[in-house]
Amino acid sequence: GDGRRGGARAGTAGAAGRRTAAARPRRRLAWTAGAVAATALAGAWLARGADDRIPPGVRVAGVDVGGRTAAQARALIAARAQDRGAGTVTILAADGPAGYRLDVPAATLAGPPRIAQAVAAARDARGPVGRALSRLGVLGDVDVPLRYALRDAAVTRLAARLRRDLAAPALSARVLVGRDRIVATPARDGRAVDAAALRDALATLPATLRVRVRRVAPRIGDAAARRARDLAARIVDTPHRVRLGRREAAIPADLLRRALRFDARHGGIDVALDAATLRRGLAAPLGAPETPPRDARLEVRGDRVVVVPSVPGRLLRTEPLADALVRDPGRATVEVAVAAAAPDLTTTEARALGIREEVGAFTTPYACCQPRVANIRRAAEILDGHVIPAGGTFSLNAALGERTSERGFVSAPTIQDGRLVDSTGGGVSQIATTLYNAAFLAGLDLVSHTPHQFYISRYPMGREATVSWPHPDLVLRNDWPAGILVDVTAADTSVTVRLYSSPLGRRVEATTGTPRGRREPTTRVVRNDDLPPGTRRVAQGRGPEGFTITYGRRVYRGDRLIRDESFTWSYDPEDEIVEVGPGVPLDAPPDPEAPPP
C-alpha cells in the first residue's frame, strides 16, 4: 500500500514539473512580443518624427512652433520678426555708469531674419530619439534663437557710441616733471566694451541687451612710477659737471629736468636723459666746435624723385654723459668729446628706399576758405614728405597726432551719430579719403578704414574713409619691396595726394557697382531742453538718400594677380532733424504757419 501511494505522489509531482516547464516558453514569448511592440511603437513615433512637423515643445524666439509644419512655422516666425523689426533694442550697462540706457530702433541694426536656418534648427532641436520622448511628454521645452543679418555700418557706429559712453582707457601711473619738483601720478583702471560679444548678442535682436563692461588694468602701476620718480630726483638734485678737454662747465638742474625722459615698458618705467637736449644746452658753455650733419632728402622734380645727398658733420657727443648719469646719479664729473656725426638718413639709405616715380595719385575738391579747409591744409603740412618703408604699416592718426587748437587745428563740422556737429579738426577726413584712394590705386594693403555714415558726393561711392581721434583710423601697409613717399598738396579748392615708389610692374583694375537698396531720408524729432518752451527748429536739413554700394579692385604685379578684393558699404540716409523745446510733444505735426528756419 505504501508503495502505491508513493508512486501516486511521484506521478503528481512529475505532472506539475511538466506544467512549469511548459509555462516558461510562453513567458519568453510574451516578453519578446512586448519588446517587439515597444520597438514598433518607437518606430512609429520616429516615423512620425521624420515628417515635416517640428517636435512638440520647441519654440523659436519665444514663438511656439511645436507640432507645426515648416511652412506654418515660417509664417509664425515671420510675424514675430516683423514685430521685432518695428520695435527697439534697449541697451543697458551691466557694469559701468549707473542708470545708463540707450534705445536703438531695431530696424537700423538688423536686416532680414534668418528664418530658414531657425526652422531647420527647430526641426533638429530634439534629434530622432528626442522627438519620440517629446511626444510622450518626457522632455521640457527648448527655445531656438532667431538670428538676423546685421547691418555692419550700424553695428560699427553703435559699438563706437558705446565705447564713448561706457568705455574709458586705463591710465598708467606716470612721472611728470615740473619747474621745481618731480611727481608720480597714480594709475587708474579702465573699462572696455567687447565689440565681438556685442555683435553676437545683437544677432538675435533682443528687446533688452545688457552690455558687459570689463575692467582693464593699467600697464604701469604706482610702485613703478615711484621708483622712476626717485631716480629722476637723484639725477636732478645732485650737482654734476662736464669736461671737454680743458674746458669745464656745471650742468644746470633745469637742463637735466628738460632732458629727462620716461619710457614705459614691461610693467616698469625706464629713466633716460635725452642726449640731444644735453648737447644743445652744453655745446656753447663748453665752446664745442660743431658742424651739424645734413640728412639726405627725397625731392620731387617733375614726374621723378631724386635723392639730394647727405652731408656728415661733427657734434658734441653727449650720449655717454646721459648714460653715465642714469647709471650713477651721484657721479660728480663726466668727460665728453666732439666726434663725427652721421646724418639720420644717409645717401645710401635714401637710394635703397627705391622711390623713383609716381605709383598712385588722387584729388578731391572742396569749397574755398571754409574752416575745414584750414584743417585740411594743416594736416597736409604734417603729412607731406612722410615715408612708408617697404613692409611698413602706416596709421594716419599716428602720423597726424591728436587734432587740437594748440597744434593749429580749428573747429569745423563732423558727422557724429547721424548729425553734423562742430569739433576741432573737422574736415581732416578729406585727407583720409584722398590718401585712401591714392593707396587704393597704388595697390597698397588697405588694413583698416571706415567710410562716412552719409554719402558725400565729392567722393567715389564707398571708396572713402573717415577718421577721428583716437578712432576710427586709416591704416595702410606697404607690402611692396620699395618705400613709399607721401606727397600732399592742398590748393585753394582741392587737395591732392601723390604716392611715389618703384613701379615693380604694379597694375590696379578698379570696379564700382550700382547703388542698391535706396532709402529716403525721413524727419526725426528730438527734444532740446535748451530751446524756449513751445518752440521747434530744423537743426539739420534733409540730405542725400541712403544706399548700399559694392566696389573692388584687382592688383597685379606683372602678370601675377596678388590681390582680388571686394568691399561693401551701406550709407544711411541723412535725415532731417527737428528739435523741439519743452512743452512740444515729439509727435506733434509741424506748424504750417511757422516761418522757415
pLDDT at 575 > cutoff 60: yes
pLDDT at 12 > cutoff 50: no
**Strands lying side by side in the sheet with 247-250:** 247-250, 241-244, 333-335
Mean pLDDT calculated for residue range 399-424: 89
Q: What is the pLDDT of residue 196?
A: 87
Mean pLDDT calculated for residue range 378-404: 96
- Location of C-alpha cell 535748451: 530
Cβ neighbours around 158 below 10 Å, total = 23
Omega before 470 within 30 of 0, i.e. cis? yes
Closest by Cα among 554, 459, 448 to 511: 554
Helices (H), 306-412: 319-327, 347-352, 371-383, 396-400
For the chain, state the CA radius of gyration.
38
Are the beta carbons of 450 and 156 closer than 8 angstroms?
Answer: yes
- With bands split at pLDDT 50, 70 and 90, how would you rate the model's confidence at 589? low
Q: What is the pLDDT of residue 133?
A: 54
pLDDT at 594 > cutoff 60: no
Q: Interior CA angle at 428 toward 427 and 429, to 5°?
A: 85
How is residue 251 annotated by DSSP?
A: -
Q: Where are the beta strands (DSSP E) in 99-258?
A: 101-105, 110-113, 142-144, 148-150, 174-177, 182-185, 190-193, 208-211, 213-216, 241-244, 247-250
| Helix, strand, or coil (residue 259) | helix
Q: Of 112-126, 133-147, 167-181, 198-212, where does mean pLDDT reach its minimum?
A: 133-147
Cβ neighbours around 387 below 10 Å, total = 17
Q: What is the pLDDT of residue 519?
A: 93
Mean pLDDT calculated for residue range 337-365: 96
- With bands split at pLDDT 50, 70 and 90, how would you rate the model's confidence at 135? low
Q: What is the pLDDT of residue 236?
A: 96
For strands 333-335 and 241-244, give the pairing. Answer: parallel
Q: What is the pLDDT of residue 107?
A: 87
- With bands split at pLDDT 50, 70 and 90, how would you rate the model's confidence at 301? very high
Q: CA-CA distance, 539 to 524, in Å (whole number)?
A: 10
Q: Of 115-129, 210-224, 466-480, 508-522, where does mean pLDDT reach its minimum?
A: 115-129
- With bands split at pLDDT 50, 70 and 90, how would you rate the model's confidence at 14? very low
> How does pLDDT run across 545-562, given as a tens digit for each residue?
999 999 999 999 999 999
Are the beta carbons of 400 and 379 closer than 8 angstroms?
Answer: yes
Q: What is the pLDDT of residue 313?
A: 96
CA distances from 212 to 91, 96, 148 (A): 11, 8, 21
Could you give the count of Cα atoms lying within 13 Å of 385 in the half-sphere of its Cβ? Answer: 7
Mean pLDDT calculated for residue range 153-180: 91
Q: What is the pLDDT of residue 19?
A: 45
> How does pLDDT run across 364-384, given as a tens digit for each residue?
999 998 999 999 999 999 999
Closest by Cα among 425, 432, 412 to 364: 432
Q: CA-CA distance, 550 to 62, in Å (whole number)?
A: 36
Q: What is the pLDDT of residue 587?
A: 72
Q: What is the pLDDT of residue 469?
A: 92
How is residue 311 annotated by DSSP?
A: B
Are the beta carbons of 372 and 413 closer than 8 angstroms?
Answer: yes
pLDDT at 597 > cutoff 70: no
What is the residue type of 4?
Answer: R
Q: What is the pLDDT of residue 195?
A: 86
Beta bridge partners of 341: 313
**Strands lying side by side in the sheet with 387-388:** 297-301, 304-308, 357-365, 494-501, 484-490, 387-388
The rounded mean pLDDT for the chain is 87
- With bands split at pLDDT 50, 70 and 90, how would you rate the model's confidence at 47? very low
pLDDT at 406 > cutoff 80: yes
Closest by Cα among 175, 153, 157, 154 to 165: 157
> How does pLDDT run across 191-202, given as a tens digit for each residue?
998 888 899 999
pLDDT at 438 > cutoff 90: yes
Q: What is the pLDDT of residue 412?
A: 92
Q: CA-CA distance, 305 to 562, in Å (whole number)?
A: 26
How is residue 418 annotated by DSSP?
A: T
Q: CA-CA distance, 122 to 503, in Å (whole number)?
A: 56
Q: The C-alpha cell of 383 is what?
A: 603729412
- What is the percent of the chain where pLDDT is above 90? 62
Spatial CB neighbours of 82, under 8 Å, sequence gap ≥ 6: none
Could you give the count of Cα atoms lying within 13 Å of 582 in the half-sphere of its Cβ? Answer: 4
| Helix, strand, or coil (residue 100) | coil
Closest by Cα among 208, 211, 210, 218 to 168: 218
Q: CA-CA distance, 499 to 434, in Å (whole number)?
A: 11
- With bands split at pLDDT 50, 70 and 90, how would you rate the model's confidence at 130? low
Are the beta carbons of 87 and 106 closer than 8 angstroms?
Answer: yes
pLDDT at 528 > cutoff 60: yes
How is residue 407 annotated by DSSP?
A: G
Q: Where are the beta strands (DSSP E) in 389-515?
A: 393-395, 411-416, 419-424, 445-448, 475-477, 484-490, 494-501, 506-512
Mean pLDDT calculated for residue range 505-531: 93
**Which range in 150-154, 164-168, 451-455, 585-589 is most confidently predicted, on average pLDDT?**
451-455
Are the beta carbons of 123 and 70 closer than 8 angstroms?
Answer: yes
Q: CA-CA distance, 331 to 586, in Å (whole number)?
A: 74
pLDDT at 417 > cutoff 90: no
Q: What is the pLDDT of residue 131?
A: 54
How is residue 87 annotated by DSSP?
A: S
Could you give the count of Cα atoms lying within 13 Å of 6 in the half-sphere of its Cβ? Answer: 3
- The pair phi, psi for residue 526, each rounded to 5°, is -125, 155
Closest by Cα among 202, 245, 228 to 107: 202
- With bands split at pLDDT 50, 70 and 90, how would you rate the model's confidence at 3? very low
Q: What is the pLDDT of residue 574?
A: 92
Cβ neighbours around 446 below 10 Å, total = 18
- With bands split at pLDDT 50, 70 and 90, how would you rate the model's confidence at 129? low
How is residue 583 annotated by DSSP?
A: T
Q: CA-CA distance, 471 to 244, in Å (whole number)?
A: 49
pLDDT at 595 > cutoff 60: no
pLDDT at 416 > cutoff 90: no
Cβ neighbours around 508 below 10 Å, total = 16
What is the residue type of 509?
Answer: E
Mean pLDDT calculated for residue range 466-490: 96
Q: How many residues does the chain have?
A: 597
